[in-house]
Homo-oligomer: A and B are copies of this chain.
Amino acid sequence: MSLIVQKFGGTSVANTERIFNVADIVTKTYAAGNDVVVVVSAQGDTTDEFIEKANAINPHASKREMDMLLTAGEQISASLLAMAIEKLGYPVVSLLGWQAGFQTPSAYGSARIKKVKADRIQKEIDKKNIVIVTGFQGINRYGDMTTLGRGGSDTSAVAIAATMHADLCQIYTDVDGVYTADPRKVPNAKKLNVISYDEMLELATLGAQVLNNRSVEMAKKYNIELEVISSLTRQPGTIVKEEAKMEKMLISGVAKDNDVARVSIIGVPDKPGLAFKIFSKLAAKKVNVDIILQSVGRDNTKDIAFTVPQNMLEEAKSAVDEYARVIGAQNVVYDPDVCKVSIVGAGMETHPGVAAEMFEALFEANINIQMISTSEIKVSVLLAREDADSAVTAIHNKFFGTND
């Protein structure tokens, strides 16, 4: 008998028909003799609808109250799924994040999981119940609701799998696996049967949006085997694990991330410590900085450019404008219309020409590169957003050919 954690995203539980589809998957897994813990997101667009409702009332509502509102979303989907499973005649119980023991710090809206105190889940499993847990949420030490940030339900699932030593953690979604590029944009994209944590991590970080990056980090840390699988087709998906037998491909995928904005501080006086301080100030405002580029500069000044997530741009501005004035920088330029395109592949560690090949593809497609960032298994470039799709296609064709 195995313990299987199954996570279902908002699309998978968007309506009654889909909920019964999920109930069918869950109960079949249970009927095959497994213990099953199910993690659900809020239905369809519920979270977005809640945010819209809140914005209509107060666009600057406190994050505490926002979390209070948003956590209702999974509560609804979890209880409805429980009712569907009851209808199919199986024993089931739904638990909220705090009931399931998800302890987090107070960072409303973007809390990390400190600990899963899984006593209640275990007790329900011992009673032979299918256990449904609301993803994305936890409780802080004041007894208040917190959320893990968008996509946090994946992390919830992996955290349960890690805490309870699950045998498999299936992430059901509306795509049937991890592809070499977005299959909606690149028709000859190929599905991967297996991928390593590190490659998946780079892809997730880069906006492939198949898996939440924190969930992959956690799966890697606790060596939890993940499966990305479609709740609709139910075909075998893509396995994410440590010792992935690489399919001898130079790169495993091309990914695009539109959730990025560029900040350029022009003419920063060339004194030691100034660059460091600006990033401290951004960190204090919890702005995640991604690609950083510092020019050699001229006239004893240099230019510093970096990218931040779209939704952090306002907070970045509030930190940067003031600071640029204080240190006497010449100008600050913000560009929200950029895109990060990346290639990922363990193969590139031993093939130094990969980055050059990517740049060549972009050159041939007449696409201008604004910034470049590399890691052992990843090369990312920042482009104008209007070039993003043609860049992905050009790069994909370069590495995977135009035909299957």
CB-CB under 8 A for A69 and B65, given A16-B57, A143-B120: no
The answer to whether the Cβ of A194 comes within 8 Å of any Cβ in the partner chain is no
Question: What 15 new A-B contacts, CB under 8 Å, besides A54-B79, A72-B79?
Answer: A53-B80, A54-B83, A57-B80, A60-B86, A60-B87, A61-B87, A62-B82, A65-B82, A68-B78, A68-B82, A69-B76, A69-B83, A71-B75, A72-B76, A75-B75
The answer to whether the Cβ of A375 comes within 8 Å of any Cβ in the partner chain is no
The answer to whether the Cβ of A64 comes within 8 Å of any Cβ in the partner chain is yes
Q: In the complex, which residues of chain B have a beta carbon less than 8 angstroms from the beta carbon of A78?
A: 68
The answer to whether the Cβ of A326 comes within 8 Å of any Cβ in the partner chain is no
On whether the beta carbons of B144 and A99 are closer than 8 Å, the reply is: yes
The answer to whether the Cβ of A27 comes within 8 Å of any Cβ in the partner chain is no
On whether the beta carbons of A76 and B61 are closer than 8 Å, the reply is: no
On whether the beta carbons of A54 and B72 are closer than 8 Å, the reply is: no
On whether the beta carbons of A58 and B71 are closer than 8 Å, the reply is: no
A144 to B144, CA, bound (A): 16
Could you tell me which residues of chain A, from 43 to 99, have a CB within 8 Å of some CB in chain B? 50, 53-54, 56-58, 60-62, 64-66, 68-69, 71-72, 75-76, 78-80, 82-84, 86-87, 93-94, 96, 99
* A interface: dominant SS: helix
The answer to whether the Cβ of A19 comes within 8 Å of any Cβ in the partner chain is yes
A62 to B84, CA, bound (A): 11
* A50 smallest CB distance to B (angstroms): 7
A274 to B20, CA, bound (A): 46
A75 to B56, CA, bound (A): 17
* A146 smallest CB distance to B (angstroms): 13
* A87 smallest CB distance to B (angstroms): 4
A87 to B19, CA, bound (A): 37
Closest to A80 in B: B57
Interface centre among A50, A61, A62, A68 (most CB of B within 10 A): A68
On whether the beta carbons of A68 and B79 are closer than 8 Å, the reply is: yes
Q: Could you show 18 A-B contacts with beta carbons less than 8 Å apart?
A: A50-B76, A60-B86, A61-B87, A62-B82, A65-B79, A65-B82, A65-B83, A65-B94, A66-B79, A68-B79, A68-B82, A69-B75, A69-B76, A69-B83, A71-B75, A72-B75, A99-B143, A99-B144
Could you tell me which residues of chain A, from 264 to 290, have a CB within 8 Å of some CB in chain B? none
Q: Considering only CB atoms and an 8 Å cut-off, how many residues of chain A contact the other chain?
A: 37
CB-CB under 8 A for A61 and B75, given A16-B56, A53-B80, A54-B80: no
Q: In the complex, which residues of chain B have a beta carbon less than 8 angstroms from the beta carbon of A19?
A: 57
A65 to B58, CA, bound (A): 32
Interface centre among A60, A66, A86 (most CB of B within 10 A): A86
CB-CB under 8 A for A75 and B80, given A57-B16, A87-B58, A99-B143: no
Q: In the complex, which residues of chain B have a beta carbon less than 8 angstroms from the beta carbon of A60?
A: 86-87
* A167 smallest CB distance to B (angstroms): 27
A19 to B65, CA, bound (A): 15
A53 to B71, CA, bound (A): 19
On whether the beta carbons of B86 and A79 are closer than 8 Å, the reply is: no
Closest to A145 in B: B96
A64 to B61, CA, bound (A): 32
Q: In the complex, which residues of chain B have a beta carbon less than 8 angstroms from the beta carbon of A54?
A: 79-80, 83
